[in-house]
């Protein structure tokens, strides 16, 4: 069984993204419209992430640095670092998403179909990204 689908209020809540690559950029782009206090921590970032205008701390993850985030996204290029970030996040009471290992995620990022008055999110088990994206596209065509 997959994750329980649930919509969460993010406005004003602290969300940390560790990593500055394309995965981090996609995550930040999907979160921004929902108003979190988003911050990226990465020694380097892709230009598309920089262009989003989110605060960026240009450095690597330091164990013990998490205070009280609501969500933590571990999207570095090092699976061991991602696992450490996710473990620390959970120890601090935050939900964690480890981009390196779908089994180490408290939540998944859904494929979204958005309109001004409707948000539809679709997810799977973490192993079927193509099918999830195709389903979201079909919903966009039918409903939006």
How would residue 120 be classed by pLDDT, with cut points 50, 70 and 90?
A: confident
Query: Quick one: pLDDT at residue 77?
Result: 95
Please check whether residue 83 is in contact with residue 59, taking contact to mean a CB–CB distance below 8 angstroms.
Answer: no
Q: Report the distance separating Cα 17 and Cα 40, nearest Å.
A: 5
Q: How far is CA 143 from CA 49, 83, 92, 120, 138, in A?
A: 30, 38, 40, 10, 9
Give 25-55 pLDDT, tens digit per residue. 999 999 999 999 999 999 999 999 999 999 9
Of 112, 103, 142, give the one whose Cα is nearest residue 26: 112
At residue 66, the pLDDT reads 87
Cα separation of 109 and 27, whole Å? 8
Would you say 12 and 37 are in contact if contact means Cβ atoms under 8 Å apart? yes
pLDDT tens track for 79-119 = 999 999 999 999 999 999 999 998 999 998 888 877 778 88
What is the pLDDT, as a whole number, of residue 121? 84
Q: CA triplet 131, 137, 138: central angle to 5 degrees?
A: 90
**pLDDT over 90 for what percent of the chain?**
65
The radius of gyration computed from the CA coordinates of the chain, to the nearest angstrom, equals 15
């Amino acid at each position: 069984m997959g994750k329980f689908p649930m919509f969460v209020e993010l406005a004003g809540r602290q969300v940390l993204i560790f990593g500055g690559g394309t995965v981090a950029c996609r995550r930040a782009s999907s979160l921004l419209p929902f108003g979190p206090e988003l911050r990226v921590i990465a020694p380097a970032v892709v230009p598309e992430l920089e262009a989003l205008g989110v605060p960026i701390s240009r450095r690597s993850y330091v164990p013990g640095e998490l205070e009280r985030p609501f969500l933590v996204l571990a999207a570095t290029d090092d699976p061991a670092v991602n696992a450490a970030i996710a473990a620390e996040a959970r120890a601090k009471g935050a939900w964690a998403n480890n981009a390196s290992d779908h089994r180490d995620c408290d939540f998944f990022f859904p494929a979204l179909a958005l309109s001004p008055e409707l948000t539809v999110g679709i997810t799977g088990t973490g192993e079927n990204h193509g099918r999830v994206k195709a389903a979201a596209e079909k919903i966009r065509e039918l409903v939006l």
